[in-house]
Every structure is written in structure tokens, then in C-alpha cells.
Amino acid sequence: MAIYALGDVEPSIDPTAFVHPDATVIGAVTIGPETTIWAQTVLRGDVGRITIGARTSVQDGAVVHATTELWTDIGDDCVVGHLAHLEGCVVESGALVGSGSTVLHRARVCAGALVGAGALVPNGMEVPSGAMALGVPAKLRHDAVDAEAMILSNARSYVENGRRYLKELRRVS
């Protein structure tokens, strides 16, 4: 896997996490226990810190960055979909950020909230618990999320898949 220190700053990766060999992790990045970081994901902690909690899945092609003033924090039991872009934002524990979506500076996705595929959560927007953020720019649909069925069960399945990959993934050519 492509894990890089930047100067004296090295990523901190829990030994139970799965980081795909084709992911890139740079600098001030912390990855929690049983978290999965999938192929082509880029976690670039070069000018600010990125923290990813336990049992979170950051899926293929996602890009996570921070700024000098705005770090990016992703909580426990989250799902960040394929090709998502997060920068200078907070995703609280038990939230889902859908495939191809963007969550920008000072935005907050609260626990039990969902950002729909392809949505744009603009600077400073808060997606409250139980709400979906849909569209470009995102509009809120309140009380639309069943967190257990739509988020937490998915997060658990990625923990299991990560365990499988830790044991079984092997390069064949």
C-alpha cells in the first residue's frame, strides 16, 4: 500500500484496519480499528489532519482532504461511498455519504443522516440526524432515514468484508 510520511508526520493506522494496497494515505491521517479503506482512495493529510473512526468504510476512489484551518473528521460506523469527496467537514458517527457526492468546508453530516449519491453539501450546511441531503446543491428531506437499515447494517457488512480481505487478498500478477 502507498503510505507516506510527509516530513516528520506519519499516518497512524490501527493494525485491525484494512487499507487496500492501491489506496494512498499521506501525512496526518488517523485510521481507526476495523475501518476499511478501499482501492484508489486518497487520504491526503498534507496541510490538515484527517481522522477516521472505527468500523468506517471509505470506498473506492474517494478523496478525503483537509485545509490548514479545517480538518476532516469522519466518525465511527460510517459509510463513505465510491468516488465521494470530503474536505474540511465533519461526518458524525453512524452517517452515510453516498457515491459520487461532495461534502465541503464547515459542513456537518450528523449521526444517522444520509447524503444521497451525487449530492453536493455546500460550505457550512448541516444535515441533521434522520435527514437525507439530496441534489445539487443539496436540499434536505427530514425524517427520511432509518439509520439501522440504511447505514449501520452497511457499515457492519464492510467490517466483515475487510476481515475477509485481510485474510484472503493476494496479488496474482
Contact predicate 3/21, CB 8 Å: no
**133: CATH:** 2.160.10.10
* Cis ω for the linkage preceding 11 (within 30 of 0): no
101 pairs with which residues across the strands? Answer: none
In a domain, 173, yes or no: no
Q: Tell me the C-alpha distance between 97 and 155, whole Å.
A: 12
pLDDT of residue 1: 66
Note the pTM of the prediction, 2 decimals. Answer: 0.96
**Cell matching residue 14:** 490501527
Residue 31's nearest CA partner among 12, 44, 48 is: 12
Q: Tell me the C-alpha distance between 135 and 152, whole Å.
A: 23
Contact predicate 91/107, CB 8 Å: no
In a domain, 56, yes or no: yes
Q: Cell 475501518 sits at which residue?
A: 35
What is the extent of the structural domain holding 104? 2-167
Instruction: Find the farthest-apart pair of alpha carbons in the chain and give their distance in angstroms, rounded.
Output: 49
Amino acid at 10: E
In a domain, 40, yes or no: yes
Contact predicate 4/26, CB 8 Å: yes
Helix (H) or strand (E) holding 146: none
Domain count, the chain: 1
In a domain, 172, yes or no: no
The Cβ of residue 130 has, within 10 Å, a number of other Cβ atoms equal to 17
pLDDT of residue 56: 98
pLDDT of residue 98: 98
Cα torsion at 168, 159, 115, 112 (round to 10°)?
170
Tell me the pLDDT of the chain (173 aa) as tens digits: 699 999 999 999 999 999 999 999 999 999 999 999 999 999 999 999 999 999 999 999 999 999 999 999 999 999 999 999 999 999 999 999 999 999 999 999 999 999 999 999 999 999 999 999 999 999 999 999 999 999 999 999 999 999 999 999 999 99
Q: pLDDT tens across 26-62, in order?
A: 999 999 999 999 999 999 999 999 999 999 999 999 9
In a domain, 83, yes or no: yes
In a domain, 34, yes or no: yes
Q: Tell me the C-alpha distance between 165 and 106, whole Å.
A: 34
Contact predicate 103/84, CB 8 Å: yes
